[in-house]
Amino acid sequence: EPEVTQTPSHQVTQMGQEVILRCVPISNHLYFYWYRQILGQKVEFLVSFYNNEISEKSEIFDDQFSVERPDGSNFTLKIRSTKLEDSAMYFCARQQGSNYNSPLHFGNGTRLTVT
Amino acid sequence: QKEVEQDPGPLSVPEGAIVSLNCTYSNSAFQYFMWYRQYSRKGPELLMYTYSSGNKEDGRFTAQVDKSSKYISLFIRDSQPSDSATYLCAMSEINTGTASKLTFGTGTRLQVTL
């Protein structure tokens, strides 16, 4: 079983709508990440989040995207106005240990379908 | 040239065979190397993790890194049908803040047949 739980497992939305994807880590960690995998393509880094701040983001992570940890537990990815090309699997990940160099463990993902 | 190249397969082998999966990379700053296994519609599952050249063994799995050739491999001994999945190589630089910004290969789909 993955050590992070993502909800929902599948989200269908219409183009232009806002979506919020959620990640609940089982244990208390400071480093979190979002990755994306478009069908048939490679897993891509979106953003890293440390101590309630974005520490690094990719060129994919434009103004349509935002992340936050609103209640100190859940970690969310918001897409403000979805586009067809946002259809993908979105994975939340956390460090294996407390060291930022330790490898990542991924959740089972949220499949986002934009129609 | 892509940063990380991986043959997408599919690779089909009989049960019990030794499987060899490979990735090449172009960025000499990559220092951390990982192998993930991904079943259909699931998240990547960490199999192996290393940051030094040479071999690292864990059960039926051996990860091999050759930094001089920019080439990494994953060997699976005594392959089982349950090993059928997509295998992703991933790597990252050692600098602060980038160690977990992973660059993935496209993945190799493996099918182990009875």
Amino acid at residue number B47: L
The percentage of chain B sitting over the pLDDT mark of 90, rounded to a whole number, equals 78
The encoded tokens of residue B85 equal 């999945």
A24 pLDDT band (50/70/90 cuts)?
confident
The encoded tokens of residue B7 equal 């043959």
Q: Which of A35-39, A40-44, A51-55 has the lowest mean pLDDT?
A: A51-55
CA distance B97 to chain A (A): 7
Mean pLDDT, all residues of chain B: 92
CA distance A81 to chain B (A): 25
Backbone angles phi, psi at A99, to 5 degrees: -80, 135
* Closest partner CB to A45 (pick from B36, B49, B102): B102
Q: How many C-beta neighbours within 10 Å does residue A81 have?
A: 12
Instruction: Give the pLDDT confidence score for residue B100 in this predicted structure.
Output: 72
> How far is Cα A104 from Cα A102, in angstroms, rounded to an integer?
7
Amino acid at residue number B55: N
- Name chain A contacts of B42, Cβ cutoff 8 Å: 108-109
The encoded tokens of residue B17 equal 């065979």
What average pLDDT does range A77-106 have in this prediction?
A: 88
pLDDT tens digits along B79-114? 999 999 999 999 998 765 555 789 999 999 999 999
